[in-house]
Structure 1
Amino acid sequence: MQTHHILVVDDDAQIRRMLRRCFEDEGYRVSESSDGDNIEATLRAGTDLVTLDLNLGRADGLAVARRIRQVSDVPIIMITGKGDMIDRIVGLEIGADDYIAKPFHLREVLARIRSVLRRSTGSASPAAANSVIRFDGFVLDPARRSLTGPEGADIALTSGEFDLLALFCRHAHAVLDRDRIMDLLKGHDWSPNDRSIDNQVARLRKLIEADTRNPQIIKTVRGAGYSFTPRNLG
C-alpha cells in the first residue's frame, strides 16, 4: 500500500475530486487546496508531491510554485493548458519537476506521479548505490540526495536536477545528446518535444557555474549535446 502524501492544488472542485478519488484508489493520502493559501503549513506537515494547476483563477500558479520553492524542494508536477508553453517553461525554470498538459488522462497522471516519486525517493536512481562524488569544490551525496557548494552550504536541487547532475557525473567528459540523456534517465515519460532537459541544464549552470555565459563544467557541444567537464572529479 502506498503511503505517499499528495497535495492537489486546483481551483476546479470537480478536478480536485476526480484526482483525489484516483489517487486514493491507488493508496495515496491526498490533501486539497483551491488557491494555494496556507500551502506552507501543509508542506511543513509532510507532503511528498504537489500537483499544481498553473491556471488557478484569481491566484497565480507560478507565484504559488515560487512560494513552494522558497520553503521546500518537494516535487511539483504542473498542470497546464495545451497552449501555455511560456508558463510551462517558466515553471520548469522555477523548479517544477514535470508537467502535464490538459486535457489529460488519469493513467498519464498516475504514471508521471510514480516516475517523479521514484526519482525523488532515489529508488530508481543508479547514483544511490554510489559513494559521495566530488567535483570542483562541490560534493554530491547520493545517499542524502544533496549537493554542497565549495563554501559548505547546501544547494537546493529538484529531484530531476539531482538525477541529471548525478548522470553527468557518471558520464563525465562524454558527449550526451538529449535523446541519450532521456534514455539514461529511465522512469520519466518523455515526449518527443520535451525541453525539460535543457531547462534543467540551465538551472544547474546557474547553481554550479561561475559564469553561465561561458560554462566550464557543463559545456554545450554544438550540434551534439552536453559534456560534463569538471577540472577535478573524484
Structure 2
Amino acid sequence: MDTGQRESILIIEDEKKISEIVRAYLEKEGYRVKQAETGGQALKFLKETVDLVVLDLMLPDIQGEDLCRIIRESSDVPVIILTAKSGEEDRIKGLGIGADDYVVKPFSPRELVARVKAQLRRAGRTKKKLLSYNAGALRIDVSNREVFRDGMVVILTPTEYKILLSLAEQPGWVFSREQLVTFAQGFDFEGYDRTIDAHVKNLRHKIEKDSREPEFIKTVYGVGYKFTGIPDAD
C-alpha cells in the first residue's frame, strides 16, 4: 500500500454495494474517498477539492452525462465513467463529453484502482509545462504544443501530436488502437487499425533515431502500443 498518496476521490454511484467496494479498494491504497448517491450530493462535494471523480451514468436525479458536462464547464479534474453501458457508441459518447476513461460493469476493482492511479499520474504530468524523456532526448512543450528531438523542433500533425502526448503522459501503459483513435478524435473511425498504424509509423520516422528499433514507441503485438521513454527528474 502506498500510504503517501492522499488525493481526494469522489465516487458518484447510487448502488451502495458497488460504492462501498470501490471505496474499500481506494482507501486501501491511501486515498481519501467521498461518496455521493445522487447528482445533487455530488455537486455539493465538487465545491470542495476533489482530485478525481468516479462517475456512474445511471443516477436517480441527474443523468451522468449531464453531470459530466457540468463538471467540465468548471474543472479539468479527471473523470472515470463507471457504467453498465458497454456499447462502442456509449464509450465514444462518454469520452466525447469530457470523461478521461470508461470502465464497464461488471468490473475488476483492482483494475479500476490501476486506472485511477494512471489518471492521477497523467493529471500531474499535464500540469507540467514541459515533459522530458531520456535525458532530454525527447521533450514536449505542452503549453505551446511543440515537440523537440535532441533540441530540434519536430513538426507533427495535430493527430500525431495527440497520439504522442496520450502515450507519453503514461509511460509503460499499453494502449489499444481503439483507445488511441478515441484520444485523437478527428479522423475517420473506419479502418482505424490501418489508420493508427500509419500515424505511429510517421511518428517514429520523426522522433526515433532508428524507426526499426524505436526507443520511445514500442509495438505490443496483438494489442497496440506503449511509450517506453524514461521521464527525466524535475
TM-score of Structure 1 vs Structure 2, range by shorter chain: 0.5 to 0.7
> Aligned pair 1:115/2:99, yes or no?
no
Superposition pairs of residues 63-212 of structure 1, within 5 angstroms: 63-81=66-84, 83-122=86-125, 127-129=130-132, 133=141, 140-141=142-143, 172-173=155-156, 176=160, 184-187=168-171, 189-190=173-174, 192=176, 194-195=178-179, 197-202=180-185
Looking at structure 2, the residues matched to 168 and 80 of structure 1 have their Cα atoms a distance apart, in angstroms, of 39
CA distance in 2, matches of 1:60, 1:73: 19
Q: Are residues 187 and 110 of structure 1, via their aligned partners in 2, closer, same or farther at CA, if it must alter by over 3 Å?
A: farther
**How many equivalent pairs are there?**
185
Give the partner amino acid of 2:83: T
SS at match of 1:56: coil
What is the one-letter code of the residue matched to 2:67?
A: V
Q: CA deviation at 1:184?
A: 4.3
Which runs of at least 4 in structure 1 moved beyond 4 Å after TM superposition? 123-126, 129-133, 165-171, 174-185, 187-191
Of 22-31 and 117-126, deviating more is 117-126
Cα deviation for residue 34 of structure 1 reads 1.1
Q: Quick one: distance in 2 between partners of 1:58 and 1:193?
A: 36
- The one of 36, 45, 55 equivalent to 2:39 is 36
Distance 1:68 1:166, change over 3 A: farther
Structure 1, 124-133 or 52-61: larger mean CA deviation: 124-133
Query: Which amino acid is the alignment partner of residue 109 of structure 2?
Result: L
Distance 1:112 1:90 in 2: 19
Q: For structure 1, list consecutive stretches of 5 or more residues without a partner in the other structure.
A: 134-139, 142-146, 148-164, 206-211, 214-220, 229-234
Residues 206-227 of structure 1 show CA distances to partners (whole Å, capped at 9, x for unaligned) of xxxxxx99xxxxxxx7972277
1:10 alignment partner in structure 2: 13
Contact 1:122/1:128 (8 A) holds in 2? yes
Q: Measure the CA separation in 1 of the matches of 2:42 and 2:122.
A: 23
Q: 1:168 to 1:78 in 2, by over 3 A?
A: farther
Secondary structure at the residue paired with 1:44?
coil
Overall identity of the aligned pairs, in %: 30
Secondary structure of residue in 2 paired with 1:79: strand
User: Which amino acid is the alignment partner of residue 76 of structure 1?
Assistant: V
Matched letter for residue 183 of structure 2 = Q
1:224 lines up with 2:208 in the alignment: no
Question: Do 2:80 and 2:99's aligned partners in 1 also have CA atoms closer than 8 Å?
Answer: yes
Alignment RMSD: 4.0
TM-score of the pair, normalised by structure 2 = 0.63
